[in-house]
Structure 1
Amino acid sequence: MGAKIKKGDLVEVISGPSQERGGYKGKQGHVIDVLAESDRVVVEGVNYVTKHVRQGQSSRGTKEGGIETHEAPIHVSNVAVVDPETGKPTRVGFRVEEVERDGKKKTVRVRYAKKSGKDL
């Protein structure tokens, strides 16, 4: 079975608090990483967390550490792929197409964006 959301896809957060209330709903960003074993994705610019890093020394003797902010993973059910034509979140489907490579025909499953509606 193919993956509905892949690394590099443009997705939109479809659940959670709105941006006016400090959340990320409605925000769009590209998928940085897919964690398939926990059904989570890391989206750029979404779900920022602060991480306190212990101070240590690198090989050159410079001190490293402090407070860092980076993106944390969110569940895959809270994001939807953005339709490239309309710019709205949409569902993803698969269709079987025949592709010709090196003179041989091969049937492959291809992802496509379904018609985006108002309910998503």
Structure 2
Amino acid sequence: MSKPRIKKGDRVLVIAGKDKGATGRVLEVLTDRDKVVVEGVNRIKKHTKVGQTARGAKTGGIVTTEAGIHISNVMLAVEKDGKRVGTRVGIREEQVERGGRTKTSRVRVAKRTGEDI
């Protein structure tokens, strides 16, 4: 798959799966598996081994955490008319003047609203 257009920190809308319609912030992008970890979405219970820390506190038990969700099941979320809606992501190139030299900069653009992300 090509480079993902969703990045860490983006607000996304889940469009498929058990959490369809939920929004959350991207905590991590797993490019090798084409997955993203979204805050508050696809929560699982993980059983961890009971151990002891250096100070003597016990750790372990059942921990609730977020699991990865396939990147095709999320869309970037933008504000439109006071509602949070999903949008596709486009790329726009613009010329930037830096130190007397012109460089090309790539900017992510929301297809639905036309604004920069």
Which runs of 4 or more aligned residues in structure 1 lie more than 3 Å from their structure 2 counterparts after TM superposition? none
- Aligned length in residues: 110
| 2:86 matched residue in structure 1 | 89
| Structure 2 partner of 1:55 | 50
What is the CA deviation profile of residues 64-110 of structure 1, one whole-angstrom value per residue up to 9, with x for unaligned ones?
Answer: 11110010000000000012445210100001111122332111211
| 2:94 partner amino acid | E
**8 Å CA contact retained: 2:35, 2:71:** yes
Q: Give unpaired runs (5+ residues) of structure 1.
A: 17-22
Between 76-85 and 7-16, the greater mean CA deviation after superposition:
76-85
State the alpha-carbon separation in 2 of the partners of residues 35 and 28 from structure 1: 19
Q: Does residue 99 of structure 1 match 2:100? A: no
Distance 2:35 2:95 in 1: 31
- Aligned to 1:77, what secondary structure does the other structure show? helix
State the TM-score, normalized to the length of structure 1.
0.85
CA distance in 1, matches of 2:110, 2:3: 14
Q: Structure 2 CA distance, aligned partners of 1:62 and 1:6?
A: 36
Letter in 1 for 2:93: V
Distance 1:6 1:36, change over 3 A: same
Q: Specify whether residues 2 and 35 from structure 1 end up closer, same or farther in structure 2 by C-alpha distance, changes over 3 A only.
A: closer
Alpha carbon RMSD of aligned pairs, Å?
A: 1.5
TM-score (norm 2): 0.87
Pick the structure with more helix per residue. Answer: 1
Deviations 1:25-68 (CA, angstroms, capped at 9, x unpaired) = 00000000000011000000000000011111111122111110
